[in-house]
Amino acid sequence: MTVITRFAPSPTGTLHVGNLRTALHNWLFARRHGGRFLLRIDDTDGARSEERFVEAIRADLAWMGLTPDAEERQSARFDRYEARLAQLVADGRVYPAYETAQELELKRKVLLGRGLPPVYDRAALALSDADRAALEAEGLRPHWRFKLDHEAAIAWDDLVRGPQRFEAKLLSDPVVRRADGSWLYLLPSVIDDIDMGVTHVVRGEDHVSNTATQIQMFDALSGAVPAFAHEALLTGAEGKLSKRLGSLGIDHFRAAGIEPEALIALLARLGTSDPVEPFADPAPLVAAFDFARFGRAPARFDEAELAQLNARIVHQLGHDRVADRLPAGIDATGWEAIRPNLNTVAEAADWWAVVEGPISAPPVADEDRSFLGQARTVAETLDWSADPWRALTDALKATTDRKGKALFLPLRRALTGRDHGPDMAALLPLIGKDRALARLEAG
């Protein structure tokens, strides 16, 4: 069996971090098993779907490196849905119902008031052809419900949640098509999964009850029921379900200087007991991905943890990976010198400004003024093609008896204007002889 997963966003907005996690896990699972990862654009809602969001979804997946093996659009498959609906109507598994939203809400309140589950009473099934004709003559158009088999228990072994069981008689027959002819999510998704050979459906735990009804739809259409993995939802760092997570998308992360590798490394293991590690290459994440390692507790998404992970990944990135985002002049040697001090690639510009100058050095202490003068004299005689920093500090250590902080800090301040930063042995050759002499003299 070829494993086939699908990510099925609706283009009614941009992807948020929860969507990105779902897409990633579908991609990881497919790659882990040598299978296929499909992108399905669920654009049946013509009023809310927008092409700009379709393009944004594609761009976001591309930024994360989650390249789909194929793409489908539900808006191109309406004829297929019509045909399968007609089949289910003929088989007695889909029926028309005429209650208004107000009538259904009243029924729901009555049942709840009696302490009963608000399950639809199937009153529409008692209507005769004449009754239906009379209602339609009054201008009412039916919505369409899938008739569940109330005699059957619905069970599956979820890849995350373990054994699941629902009593069909405690579920309402789901509406699959509205009175205005528009489709709800449930039936088109099942038809697509059958036609596209989807073997594994990976989504959030908020879809568990949908799965119960959809399993009967698969059976009614004689389709193979896929395996299901319902993952715990993300929570914010404060430990509660956070509305803010619904607004954190690729634009937010890119503006914060987050690398896609960092987002992948974090989201791949959130919800497991496995350590989050700074993998710049996703291969180890693919090789180890297993739904059995995910727990049912909510997964905590912490932007501070992401930022720390991002810094560790930036420290691994080669010059070729970031060259198009660096200021002119930073070659591989320059990148390797400043990379260990960066939290984001964008910060490279700050350190390159230190290299090229001008800098604003802090005032020199009286006891350091003569020392910096000696440093300039020594620096003028050095072989700058070798290791000027070691040669400079060794000579000054021998002639001034300074060591440790008293030796290194005044030099760093004069040469960079900062108390901390990249290794001076790597940084000083980039600053160069002329700039170094001028800075030491100014000190």
Annotated binding site for ATP: 243
Spatial contact of 259 and 345, defined as CB atoms under 8 Å apart: yes
Q: What are phi and psi of 73, to 5 degrees?
A: -130, 130
Phi, psi of 317 (to 5 degrees): -70, 135
Q: Detail the residues annotated as belonging to a binding site.
A: 243
Distance from C-alpha of 374 to C-alpha of 396, rounded to nearest angstrom: 8
Place of tokens 């927008």: 50
Cis geometry, peptide bond prior to residue 358 (ω within 30 degrees of 0): yes
- Tokens in use for 223? 């389709």
β-bridge partners, 201: 228
